[in-house]
Structure 1
Amino acid sequence: MKNPVLFIHGGGEGAYEADRPLAASLQGALGVEYDVRYPAMPNERNPTYAAWKDAIARELAAFERKAALVGHSFGASLVLKYAAEEPLDGRASGLFLIAAPFWRVEDWDVPEFALADDFAAKLPAELRLFFYHSRDDETVPFTHLAHYREALPSATFRELDARGHQLEGNLAEVAADVLLVR
Structure 2
Amino acid sequence: MSKQILFIQGGGEGGYEADKELVTSLQAALGEEYMISYPEMRWDEAAADFGWTKQIGEEIAQADNGLVLVGHSFGASMILKYLSETTINKKIKGVFLLAAPFWSGDEAWKAGFKLKSDFANSLPADVVYYLYHSKDDDEVPIFHFHQYKKKLARANFREVNSGAHQFGNDLALVAEDIKSL
Structure 2 residues without counterparts, runs of 5 or longer: none
**Distance across 2 between alignment mates of 1:29 and 1:45:** 35
Counterpart-to-counterpart distance in 1, 2:113 and 2:53:
11
CA gap of 1:129–1:64, structure 2 versus 1, over 3 A, is: same
Aligned to 2:2: 2
1:161-182, Cα deviation, whole Å (9 max, x unpaired): 111000000001111111112x
Cα deviation, residue 137, structure 1: 0.1
**Superposed CA offset, 1:28-65 (max 9, x none):** 11111110000000128998526211211121111123
CA distance in 2, matches of 1:172, 1:118: 32
Question: Structure 1 length as normaliser, TM-score?
Answer: 0.93
Provide Cα deviations, 1:106-147, integer angstroms capped at 9, x if missing partner: 889811100001101101111111000000001001111111
CA contact (8 A) 1:15 1:44 kept: no
* 8 Å Cα contact 1:60/1:91 also seen in 2: no
Superposed counterparts of 1:109-120, under 5 Å: 110-120=110-120
- For the Cα contact (< 8 Å) 2:6–2:67, is it kept in 1? yes
What is the deviation of 1:90? 3.8
Q: Is the CA contact 1:12–1:46 (under 8 Å) kept in the aligned structure 2?
A: no
Aligned to 1:141: 141
Greater CA deviation, 42-51 or 119-128? 42-51
Q: Is the 8 A contact 1:100 1:140 kept in 2?
A: yes
**Identical residues among aligned pairs (%):** 44
Amino acid at match of 2:113: F
